[in-house]
Homo-oligomer: A and B are copies of this chain.
C-alpha cells in the first residue's frame, strides 16, 4: 500500500508538504502543489482515513439510531426511506454512517452505549422514532456527549437539534379536508402510542379542529397498531361520521374493518406510505417525505458538528389522496 511517505519521496518534498497539498492548506505554492498531485495520481495514492482520523482526532462517522422491529407489521418502509436519505446525503457530505437499531442498545446503560459509540469514533447520532420509554437514549441526549439530531421529538440543547413536520397543523389540515369533503359532525380519532412524541401533537391538531368546527370528537388509542385500529373501528365507527387515524397503517386497519362491517365511513391517515397504494381504496393522508427529512437531519447534524448550536427544524408537509395509479407511476 502506497503511503504519504512514498509520495513525499517520489516528489522530493517533505511528508508534511504532501499532507498540506492533500488538505488544501494555503501555504504551499502552485508549483509544488501540481508536482505533488502528479505523483499522487501516478502512484495511485489513496489516503488512509483511519490514520488521518487517529492523528487529527476527527472522524466523519455518524450513527443512525433506528427504532426498528421487523415484527411490527409492515411499517419498516419508513425506516428504509430514512436510511436511504441519510446514506445519500452522507456520501455528499463525505461522512460515513453506521446503522444501529435501538433494540441493540436498549439493555445497555448509558456508559456502555457512550463507550460503544466513542470507541467507534462516532461524533454524531441521528435518532429516529424516539419514544418516552427509551430511557437510555434520553440519557444519551441529556449527556450532550454527542452531537445529536432527533427526528420527530421535541428535543433541543446545545448539541441537540430536532426535526419534524408540524404535526399539529398537519393533523388539523388532513382532518379538516376529510371532514369538509364529507360534511362530518362526529369524528372518531384513533390516536398513536401514548409513548410516541408525535401522538400528543397530532391529538392537539384534531382537538383544535373539532373545537373550531364544533364537532363531536371521540378519541381511542390505536397504539400505531393496524390490528388495534381495526378493533376500535369495529367497536365505535358505526355511530360516527368518519375515522381519522394518526397513521396510515392504522387507517388501513380501520378501512379493512369498515369493509368487513360493510358500512362506509371516510377514513384519513397520516404518513403517506407506499403501502397505502396497495390496499385497494384511496384516502386522504399527510404525505411526509421521509427521505427528505433524513437528508435534512444529516445536514443539521453536520451543522452541529461544525459547532453551531442546536435548534428546531420544521419541514413542510403536503396533503395527498393516495391512489394505486399514482404510486406505481
Q: Is the CB of B84 within 8 A of A68?
A: yes
* B contact residues around A279 at 8 Å (CB): 278-280
A79 close to chain B: CB less than 8 A? yes
A34 close to chain B: CB less than 8 A? no
Say whether, besides A74-B77, A77-B74, A50 and B53 are in contact (CB < 8 Å).
Answer: yes
* B contact residues around A263 at 8 Å (CB): none
**A42-58 contacts to B (CB < 8 Å):** 44, 46-51, 53-54
Q: In the complex, which residue of chain B has the Cβ closest to the Cβ of A290?
A: B70
Q: Is the CB of B74 within 8 A of A274?
A: yes
Say whether, besides A46-B115, A278-B275, A99 and B101 are in contact (CB < 8 Å).
Answer: no
Which of A111, A119, A252 has the most chain B CB atoms inside 10 A of its CB? Answer: A119
* B contact residues around A49 at 8 Å (CB): 119-121
Bound CA–CA A187/B101 (angstroms): 44
Bound CA–CA A252/B71 (angstroms): 22
Q: In the complex, which residue of chain B has the Cβ closest to the Cβ of A253?
A: B328
| 22 A-B pairs in the complex with CB atoms less than 8 angstroms apart | A44-B115, A47-B119, A49-B120, A49-B121, A71-B329, A73-B329, A74-B274, A74-B277, A74-B327, A76-B80, A77-B77, A77-B80, A79-B80, A83-B83, A83-B99, A88-B104, A97-B98, A227-B328, A256-B324, A275-B278, A278-B278, A279-B280
Pick the 10 closest A-B CB pairs, nearest first: A46-B115, A80-B80, A76-B80, A74-B274, A49-B119, A50-B121, A50-B54, A46-B119, A278-B278, A54-B54
